[in-house]
Amino acid sequence: MVGMPENAALSVGDLVELDLTGIAHGGVGVARHEGRVVFVADAIPGERVRARITEARKKSFARAATVEVLDPSEDRRPHIWPEAGLERDPAERPGGAEFGHIALPRQRALKAEVLTDALRRFGGLGTDALRDLGGGVLQVESLPGDAEAEAPGLDGTTHTSAPGLGYRTRVRLHVDPETGEVGPYAARSRRVIRTASLPLAVEEIGWIAPLDEAISEAEAVDLVSPSADDPRMLVSYPGERRRAGADDPVRESVGGREFLVRAGGFWQVHREAPVTLFEAVRDAILELAGSDRFDPGAANLDLYGGAGLLAAAVAEAAGPGLRITTVESDPGATDDAAENLADLVGALTVTARVDRHLAELRAAAAPVRERLRRGTVVLDPPRSGAGGEVCAGLGEVAPANIVYVACDPVALARDTATLRELGYTPVSLRALDLFPHTHHFETLAVFLRD
């Protein structure tokens, strides 16, 4: 510790020298100070850094932010977002690009470490099972085009830049309640930070982003750049009962197929994510069909179905004889799914909470239950995962196969443990880097009923 007596307690503002030994879920490095775990932002495992303590309320761990790198990793790069670099005070750095100082191959290796650790610790999977799932070693796949991405310049033009930039088609900014200034939040804070650029955003968002403006009385600004429609700026105000853009339909193109979605609704943010997930789910269904495990005429389900993207992927693999019900709690998304799946005779869209729909299915008549047991479930839950109640419902409905799209590795691992207890075995897994320069990524896992 710099300037403090040996064995002194850590306090906010203290400077400490730390050796980074690992990575934790959430994109922070792991170090120890006198036996106490310290989670360190803006560092890379293997580095020695000087860091400022930012949180020390818990006896078991503290949080810190790097202010100086004493022994840098060979994978350290100048931060892709100048405002998030070490030159700024940690409290002045915008959040949302916590891996922006790390070379992309190392970013993906760190994400693979987090996934492997989560599946081992929370999913109960041993070395052999993990090796079989990953075909040897779990890897995180990059998406097409990241290396050639362009990012908006400050003058509105574009420039070829570091790999993995210029991919976000949806960006949320916040408004300072006192000044009206618009920008992202600081990391682990609700403090609005002014920035001159949005390097992860596509060019069209750079055109309309109000980074140098003040918007009085607003709460948030959502910037949306649909692949087959004009960009939108959606302004939210306190007390509004409907989210901005809820009634604004826009068009998205996925592999030549057009989808209707709400500008203010959910859609994957990486420009290549919709087609990547579409193809990943389609290929998983084709593989199940190739082993005679997929029955297109069974009671197949698409849970947390959104606008119907993944149900359409199942349909492309299964052909015209498919029967599938897509379940989504957002009425607007269900309406969009009905439109997007209108050409599928066997598709049904239902507005309902997934747990409640599964409860209804558990009480269905015997012939329906049998069709459910022959079916395949695709589910794409929120970041918190499916959870115990939904997994228990799946266990009672007992579909033959589950294709699980996860955006959080720990949630996936916990649900994996639950599904294994319910008689499901994970047989394949793909990790996809849908969020370069952040700690987030997507995972697709296939489970078979024993």
Within this chain, do residues 433 and 308 fall inside the same structural domain, yes or no?
yes
Polymer length of the chain: 450
Report the distance separating Cα 193 and Cα 190, nearest Å.
9
pLDDT over 90 (residue 230) = yes
Residue 56 belongs to some domain of the structure: yes
CA torsion angle 199 202 203 205 (round to 10): -90
pLDDT recorded at residue 149:
43
Comparing 8 with 340, the larger pLDDT belongs to 340
Annotated ligand binding at 178? The verdict is no
Residue 5 belongs to some domain of the structure: no
Contact between residue 150 and residue 167 where contact means Cβ atoms under 8 Å apart: no
pLDDT for 386-416, tens place per residue?
999 999 999 999 999 999 999 999 999 999 9
Average pLDDT over every residue of 114-118: 96
pLDDT recorded at residue 148:
42
pLDDT over 70 (residue 376) = yes
Residue 256 belongs to some domain of the structure: no
pLDDT recorded at residue 155:
41
pLDDT recorded at residue 147:
61
Report the distance separating Cα 298 and Cα 321, nearest Å.
10
Within this chain, do residues 283 and 206 fall inside the same structural domain, yes or no?
no
Residue 60 belongs to some domain of the structure: yes
pLDDT recorded at residue 1:
44
pLDDT recorded at residue 60:
83
Residue 8 belongs to some domain of the structure: no
Report the distance separating Cα 327 and Cα 234, nearest Å.
27
Provide the pLDDT confidence category of residue 162 given band limits of 50, 70 and 90.
Answer: low
Provide the pLDDT confidence category of residue 315 given band limits of 50, 70 and 90.
Answer: very high
Amino acid at 47: E
pLDDT recorded at residue 5:
44
Within this chain, do residues 415 and 280 fall inside the same structural domain, yes or no?
yes
Within this chain, do residues 320 and 419 fall inside the same structural domain, yes or no?
yes
Within this chain, do residues 198 and 128 fall inside the same structural domain, yes or no?
no
HSE (side-chain half, CA atoms, 13 Å) at 92: 10
According to DSSP, the β-strands at 401-406 and 376-379 are parallel
Residue 103 belongs to some domain of the structure: no
Least confident of 118-127, 161-170, 305-314: 161-170
pLDDT recorded at residue 9:
79
Contact between residue 199 and residue 166 where contact means Cβ atoms under 8 Å apart: yes
Q: Which domain holds residue 212?
A: 149-245
CA torsion angle 109 110 113 117 (round to 10): -160
- Residue 73's CATH number: 2.40.50.140
DSSP codes joined into one string, 63-92 = EEEEEEEEE--TTB---SSGGGSTTS-GGG
Annotated ligand binding at 328? The verdict is yes
Tell me how many domains the chain contains.
Answer: 3
Within this chain, do residues 184 and 311 fall inside the same structural domain, yes or no?
no
Within this chain, do residues 159 and 292 fall inside the same structural domain, yes or no?
no
Within this chain, do residues 183 and 209 fall inside the same structural domain, yes or no?
yes
Provide the pLDDT confidence category of residue 159 given band limits of 50, 70 and 90.
Answer: very low
Within this chain, do residues 319 and 422 fall inside the same structural domain, yes or no?
yes
| Non-local CB neighbours of 250 within 8 Å, separated by 6+ positions | 224, 226, 228, 229, 232, 260, 261, 262, 263
Within this chain, do residues 170 and 130 fall inside the same structural domain, yes or no?
no
pLDDT recorded at residue 151:
43
Residue 333 belongs to some domain of the structure: yes
pLDDT for 41-84, tens place per residue?
999 999 999 999 999 877 789 999 999 999 999 999 999 999 99
| DSSP single-letter state for residue 94 | B
Residues forming the active site: 407
* Percent above pLDDT 70 for the chain: 95
Residue of 12, 431, 389 lying closest to 188 (CA atoms): 12
- Other CB atoms within 10 A of residue 8 CB: 10
- Residue 313's CATH number: 3.40.50.150
DSSP reduced 3-state for 138 = coil
Annotated ligand binding at 258? The verdict is no
- This prediction has a pTM of 0.92
Within this chain, do residues 134 and 198 fall inside the same structural domain, yes or no?
no
Residue of 177, 269, 167 lying closest to 216 (CA atoms): 177
Average pLDDT over every residue of 144-151: 60
Report the distance separating Cα 397 and Cα 422, nearest Å.
11
Q: In sequence order, what are the beta bridge partners of 23?
A: 29
Within this chain, do residues 66 and 174 fall inside the same structural domain, yes or no?
no
Residue 134 belongs to some domain of the structure: yes
Distances (CA, A) of 73 to 37, 38, 104, 164, 185: 21, 19, 13, 20, 28
Annotated ligand binding at 404? The verdict is no
pLDDT over 70 (residue 152) = no
Q: What mean pLDDT, rounded, does the chain reach? A: 93
Report the distance separating Cα 438 and Cα 26, nearest Å.
9
